[in-house]
Structure 1
Amino acid sequence: MTLHAAPQRGLALLLAALSAIGPFAIDTYLPSFPDIAARLQATPLEVQQTLSAYLFAFAAMTLWHGAIADRFGRRRVILIALGLFALASLGCAFATSIGQLWFWRGLQGVTAGAGIIISRAIVRDLYDGAPAQRLMANISMMFALAPALAPLIGGWLQATWGWRSVFGFLVVASGLLLLLCAYQLQETLPPEKRQSLRPAYLLGAYRKIFSSPPFLFACAALSLNFNGFFLYVLSAPVFLMRHLNLPETAFLWLFGPGMLGLICGSWLAGRLAGRVSAGKAVYYGHLVMGAAALLNLLLSGILPPGLPWSILPIALYTCGMALAMPSLTLFALDPFPQQRGLAASCQTFFQAAANGLTAAVIAPLLWDSTFSLALGMAGSLLLGSLAALAYRRTLGRNSALLPG
């Protein structure tokens, strides 16, 4: 198969670009929240719900992207999803009311998940063991640039042309990626390995995956660890513009250090692949995240909001998060070698549902102070660590997630 011979770095770049559609759809328009509220005569909470509409639609559809890709192949589903995402972005650009924006943001969410889900399935189609862990780490390292660049690009577009130009940019970006995939992305799932879409088969497959304790605990650890950082992403307009008194073009203050941490952690995960066990990589990642969460609580408790101390612990946290992320992702997929797309769908659904809950409920409750945000990070990490320990117990001492 042609894609087998492609260099890992080139493949990682393409899969990272597909995975980045989701973060770009979230982060690029964050600097435009005040302008959207003013232009569409909406309240700040109504604008915030455009994010919730995206995330809940994203979560609902993620259950299907993998199953459809297991039936019809990876490439075809990717191309159709990118085309629909471009259409939804165009709808957002021309929305004349907050209700219309909710609708088109929901359609963006329906289509954006295909990239990240099918990218994970492609990795497992092609590689096993340390090579899969290394490729996943490389994808994470390149993918980490997206959340750093997205709000920076969005801030520039907002300051120059206003909020509609942000969605125009998403139309162009997704269109270019569609063309790239049409010419470069080869099919990785041969016809003889494709699965059925019969309701009875799907019901049994979903029941099998969602009743698997190792899958559930690995997904919980992955999602909760990520939510410790995603809480700041969702609260970025308040955190940066209100608490730190920064302008709409200064979102790089949050996303730059955060993504630098992701890049460093992903690089470490790639270097450790094949040298230490995947379980130890997760353990070391949790140690780093724990140190970051404690430092964040300390600094936000004794110092007023400001630079750089309100930002530095976030960079350390994302470093630990990225160190643990590739292994946790593979832990959730490995029990289902014949249904990797479906398992990736269920995994992404789990994380997207948690993200949607954080966007709709938790972030608005915690963004009033930097200390409450720090408490949210620490609480998410604590629950994620408990999920990792529970994963260890489901496998037994001999195949433990954590050393000891």
Structure 2
Amino acid sequence: MTPTLRPTTRRLALLLGGLAMFGPFSIDTIFPAFPSIGAQLGADPVAMQQTISVYLVAYALMSVVHGPLSDAIGRRRVILGGLLVFAAASAGCALARDLPTLLAFRALQGLSSGVGLIVGRAVIRDVLQGHDAQRLMSQVSMIFGIAPAIAPIIGGWLLGWSRWPMIFWFLVAFALVLVVATWLVLPETHPPASRLPLAARSLVRDYAAIFVNPRFQRLAAAASFNFGALFLYIASAPVFVLEMLRLHGRHLDETQFAWFFVPTIGGMIVGAFVSGRAAGRMSGDRLVRIGFAASAIAMAYDVVYNLLVPVPAVPWAVLPMSLHAFGIALVFPVLTLAILDMYPRQRGSASSLQAFTSLVMNALIAGALSPLISHDARWLAFAAAAMTLVAFAFWRWEAGSAQCESLRSDGADLPPT
């Protein structure tokens, strides 16, 4: 039976936040188990890094389908189907006895895990508009932000209590809980009258139209590069935490990932809270400028610290991650809603293509850039700072273009851009 009553904003925020969490859980809970999985399956650290990149590649490829599929058959069906596939894939990971099997089921996890985040964004824009949508997006971001902080901690606890397959059984249980919650709480927010037919030719045409839109390119690039600077450290966490960070002169162990993730995600949660409170009181442009200013300060500190201190130590080495995450949380809701508002009839497709852009970036970071530079804290700092600078450049480009368009609409005599 499909719910017909719209849930309260708080219940919807909790559900959509939970749905967005199982993607990060898929990445971060297994970080503490990298050494034990590699030892049992005969995989070196570079091979283990591919458990992240293969997941992200599959996630990116399927992300272009989740949104249009929800535009065609409804949000609720797609979310429920993705959760069930994810539960089955997680069980396959738990039962894997060699690396190729593990990678295959990790890919299946990636194919299904995007439904919560991608379709959830479309749900937000289905039910709310303007500042209300920004507030709900920020609330979901606050809940979503908890996942990367607690996931490696949960993974470390489970590893201390049992063997590494228990981490994947935990993901099975989490997915099944979300199935029940979605079935009971989430109504269908995209009614049949608003649905679009799912045809390959029209899908390709629509995607091409969105992708070649210069405004979409600028907004998506700004969001992707900005988060990519933080994701570089997340993807490098097994090396950064276990081999680089020191506490009282000693290496951290697999139970101490909280030293990195709690401050980082704490900054994101605070930023999401501020973004929600600022909705309707402060313009989106000003929020974005404050967010990029926070990220710039964080990355400048990161570079200087790693140039001056040869051995990074907590808490000083993770402070810039916290401030940068705060800045991301201010910027992301504004950029995402701007993209969704460009295509009111194709919000699922717009959300999918934005996610695809970000996920391709993250897959390249996890599969290529992180293994190349994660052994040196200085290179991590340089690369993160460069990505933040590129993100800001794209935002300034978009802001300048929008200002020119506004002046033209007011009759100003401006040269074409």
Whole-angstrom CA distance in 1 between matches of 2:306 and 2:388: 17
Instruction: Identify the residue that residue 89 of structure 1 maps to in structure 2.
Output: 90
1:177 aligns with 2:178: yes
* Paired AA for residue 83 in structure 1: L
* Paired AA for residue 296 in structure 2: G
Instruction: Identify the residue that residue 327 of structure 2 maps to in structure 1.
Output: 320
Between 271-280 and 385-394, report the one with greater CA deviation: 385-394
Within the candidate set 251, 255, 270, 1:249 is matched to 255
Instruction: Identify the residue that residue 104 of structure 2 maps to in structure 1.
Output: 103
Whole-angstrom CA distance in 1 between matches of 2:307 and 2:137: 36
1:252-298 per-residue CA deviation (whole Å, 9 max, x = no partner) reads: 11110011100111011111111111111111100000000001111
After TM superposition, the structure 1 = structure 2 runs for residues 187-336 of structure 1, keeping only pairs within 5 Å, are 187-244=188-245, 245-303=251-309, 304-336=311-343
- Which SS does the other structure have where 1:396 is aligned? helix
Q: Check the 8 A contact 2:268/2:326 in 1, yes or no.
A: yes
Report the CA distance between 1:56 and its aligned residue: 0.2
Q: CA RMSD in A?
A: 1.4
Instruction: Calculate percent identity across the aligned residue pairs.
Output: 41
Q: Check the 8 A contact 2:6/2:187 in 1, yes or no.
A: no
Report the CA distance between 1:397 and its aligned residue: 3.9
Q: Check the 8 A contact 2:5/2:187 in 1, yes or no.
A: no
Report the CA distance between 1:101 and its aligned residue: 0.6
* Paired AA for residue 104 in structure 1: F
Whole-angstrom CA distance in 2 between matches of 1:279 and 1:214: 15
CA distance 1:4–1:398, shift in 2 (3 Å): farther
After TM superposition, the structure 1 = structure 2 runs for residues 63-82 of structure 1, keeping only pairs within 5 Å, are 63-82=64-83
Whole-angstrom CA distance in 2 between matches of 1:390 and 1:147: 31
Whole-angstrom CA distance in 2 between matches of 1:301 and 1:60: 38
Report the CA distance between 1:6 and its aligned residue: 2.6
Whole-angstrom CA distance in 2 between matches of 1:355 and 1:5: 35
Whole-angstrom CA distance in 1 between matches of 2:115 and 2:7: 22
Superposition TM-score, scaled by structure 1 size: 0.97
Between 109-118 and 7-16, report the one with greater CA deviation: 7-16
Superposition TM-score, scaled by structure 2 size: 0.94
Report the CA distance between 1:198 and its aligned residue: 1.5
Q: Check the 8 A contact 2:90/2:105 in 1, yes or no.
A: yes
Whole-angstrom CA distance in 1 between matches of 2:229 and 2:160: 29
Instruction: Identify the residue that residue 361 of structure 2 maps to in structure 1.
Output: 354
Between 386-395 and 113-122, report the one with greater CA deviation: 386-395
Within the candidate set 379, 397, 408, 1:390 is matched to 397
- Which SS does the other structure have where 1:329 is aligned? helix
Work out the number of aligned pairs and report it: 400
Whole-angstrom CA distance in 2 between matches of 1:82 and 1:193: 24
Whole-angstrom CA distance in 1 between matches of 2:6 and 2:75: 17
Greater CA radius of gyration, 1 or 2?
Answer: 2
Whole-angstrom CA distance in 2 between matches of 1:197 and 1:25: 29
After TM superposition, the structure 1 = structure 2 runs for residues 37-56 of structure 1, keeping only pairs within 5 Å, are 37-56=38-57
* Paired AA for residue 382 in structure 1: L
Q: Check the 8 A contact 2:266/2:322 in 1, yes or no.
A: yes
